[in-house]
């Protein structure tokens, strides 16, 4: 039996965590052999702690075989103590017409404090996924405030965008999402993100690999396929978060939790041979890949071996490179705003 790992999840009483905690406890993230001690961190406000206690009661009632213990706390010193993994979810979600800049102003302070708590209390090997928006810049803020933890241990979530892109292509081609391989989403988790299908393929039931562009062209014609990719597809993936807020009156929660599980599962257990996933990674650790300078957290296609991610270097077109540069500029703009705050 493996000894349990400690996993802190912030925003434990919120809507994303109402899916996320159960999936972690069930073994979806760290595998079917790995026991976990869940640290549920909330704001130290009675109503929030009480709600977290209710969630913990339900977790116990699931009798998950791998759930070794639960710690509920409003104290970051307890929440981050000796943790191996940190899911930083707790932050205000965007509502109505709020922009990401509004969110940055509202949420940045949380990540300054949590970075400092990671620095002081977490294991130096802790791996951090930031979900709370604006996720890329919050991951940067967290890392800056935890200077003794390696930069490559701070990531932000672009996996939801990656999964959304797969979902759209699978629907368009009437294939299973599991057949859509090697899409990549670059850049900021914002309207400047860049979903790229140029290296993706559809894995046939007979093992054949059909490039996505070719598969789309076969269904709708080559011109219509190009128009779809540059228009409806790009817009849909870039604005899906807002579309869900408009439809649900709340931001995406179950799909966000699922993406967080996918992200950390691949980071912990590795990516399948020959495949990659999209991760927001610290460009201090990417050696100028895709022309993005150090100093931001930027999504790139990554493969993971033995718990370490590495960027997959793909020969992107000039047109794609221009979009990638625009998303980098977006992030450097957020960085400047964060520094001002
Ligand atoms: N990166 C992504 O792809 C996505 C990110 N999000 C973001 O995730 C964040 C959380 O979303 P929801 O769970 O829907 O929000 P929610 O409002 O339902 O829950 C947030 C929880 O965080 C708690 N919280 C606030 N500050 C905290 C702190 N300093 N420490 C611990 N807990 C704290 C609140 O008390 C609340 O219970 C939002 O910023 C949202 O925009 C949502 C969907 C996708
Ligand atoms: O603020 C939003 O766009 C909604 C939450 C989110 O980040 C998303 O669903 O992609």
Ligand 2 binding pocket includes 285 (Cβ within 6 Å): no
- Residue 300 · residue 278 · CB < 8 Å: yes
51 is in an annotated binding site: no
Ligand 2 binding pocket includes 164 (Cβ within 6 Å): no
- Residue 130 · residue 260 · CB < 8 Å: no
Cα separation of 123 and 197, whole Å? 38
* Shortest-distance ligand to the CA of residue 129: 1
Ligand 2 binding pocket includes 251 (Cβ within 6 Å): yes
- Residue 34 · residue 5 · CB < 8 Å: yes
Q: For residue range 65-111, what is the model confidence (pLDDT) as tens digits?
A: 999 999 999 999 999 999 999 999 999 988 777 887 889 999 999 99
Predicted-complex ipTM score: 0.99
What is the average pLDDT value for the chain, to the nearest integer?
Answer: 97
* Shortest-distance ligand to the CA of residue 297: 1
Cα separation of 251 and 38, whole Å? 24
Average pLDDT (216-241) is: 98
Verify cis geometry, omega within 30 degrees of 0, for the bond prior to 79. Answer: no
Q: Is 155 exposed, middle or buried (0-12, 13-18, 19+ CB in 10 A)?
A: buried
Cα separation of 14 and 51, whole Å? 9
What are the residue boundaries of the structural domains of the chain, listed by start? 5-156, 159-340
Residue whose tokens read 């999840």: 9
For the chain, give the percent of residues with pLDDT over 90: 95
Q: Does domain 5-156 have CATH number 3.40.50.720?
A: yes
Q: Does domain 159-340 have CATH number 3.40.50.1860?
A: no
The continuous run of DSSP H or E covering 86 comes out as strand 85-88
- Residue closest by Cα to atom 31 of ligand 1: 42
- Residue closest by Cα to atom 11 of ligand 1: 93
- Residue closest by Cα to atom 8 of ligand 1: 132
Pairing of strands 180-181, 201-203: antiparallel
Q: For residue range 184-206, what is the model confidence (pLDDT) as tens digits?
A: 999 999 999 999 999 999 999 99
* Helix/strand/coil percent split, the chain, to 5: 50, 20, 35
Ligand 2 binding pocket includes 15 (Cβ within 6 Å): no
Q: Which atom of ligand 2 is nearest to the CA of 94?
A: 1
105 is in an annotated binding site: no
Does the predicted TM-score (pTM) go above 0.90?
yes
- Residue 184 · residue 289 · CB < 8 Å: no
* Shortest-distance ligand to the CA of residue 107: 1
Told to judge if 268 belongs to the known catalytic residues of this protein, a careful annotator would answer no
Ligand 2 binding pocket includes 133 (Cβ within 6 Å): yes
Please give the angle made by the CA atoms of 164, 166 and 172, to the nearest 5 degrees. Answer: 105
- Helix, strand, or coil (residue 70): strand
């Amino acid at each position: 039996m493996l000894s349990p790992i400690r996993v802190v999840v912030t925003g434990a009483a919120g809507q994303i965590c109402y899916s996320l905690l159960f999936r972690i406890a069930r073994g979806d993230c760290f595998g079917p052999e790995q026991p976990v001690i869940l640290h549920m961190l909330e704001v130290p406000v009675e109503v929030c702690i009480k709600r977290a206690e209710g969630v913990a009661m339900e977790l116990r009632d699931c009798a998950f075989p791998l759930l070794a213990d639960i710690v509920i706390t409003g104290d970051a010193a307890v929440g981050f103590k000796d943790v191996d993994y940190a899911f930083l979810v707790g932050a205000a979600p965007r509502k109505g017409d709020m922009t990401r800049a509004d969110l940055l102003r509202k949420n940045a302070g949380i990540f300054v404090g949590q970075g400092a708590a990671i620095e002081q209390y977490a294991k130096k090997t802790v791996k951090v996924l930031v979900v709370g928006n604006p996720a890329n810049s919050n991951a940067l803020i967290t890392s800056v405030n935890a200077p003794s933890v390696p930069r490559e241990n701070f990531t932000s979530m672009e996996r939801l965008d990656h999964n959304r892109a797969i979902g759209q292509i699978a629907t368009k081609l009437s294939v299973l999402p599991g057949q859509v391989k090697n899409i990549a989403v670059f850049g900021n988790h914002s309207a400047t993100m860049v979903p790229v299908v140029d290296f993706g393929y559809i894995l046939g039931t007979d093992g054949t690999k059909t490039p996505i562009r070719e598969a789309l062209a076969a269904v709708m014609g080559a011109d219509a396929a190009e128009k779809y990719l540059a228009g409806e597809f790009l817009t849909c993936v870039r604005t899906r978060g807002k579309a869900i807020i408009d439809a649900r009156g709340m931001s995406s929660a179950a799909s966000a939790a699922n993406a967080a599980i996918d992200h950390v599962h691949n980071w912990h257990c590795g990516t399948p041979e020959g495949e990659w996933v999209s991760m927001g990674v610290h460009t201090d650790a990417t050696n100028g890949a895709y022309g993005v300078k150090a100093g931001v957290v930027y999504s790139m296609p990554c493969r993971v071996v033995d718990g370490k991610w590495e960027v997959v270097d793909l020969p992107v077109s000039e047109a794609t490179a221009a979009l990638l540069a625009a998303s980098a500029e977006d992030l450097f703009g957020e960085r400047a705003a964060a520094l001002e705050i």
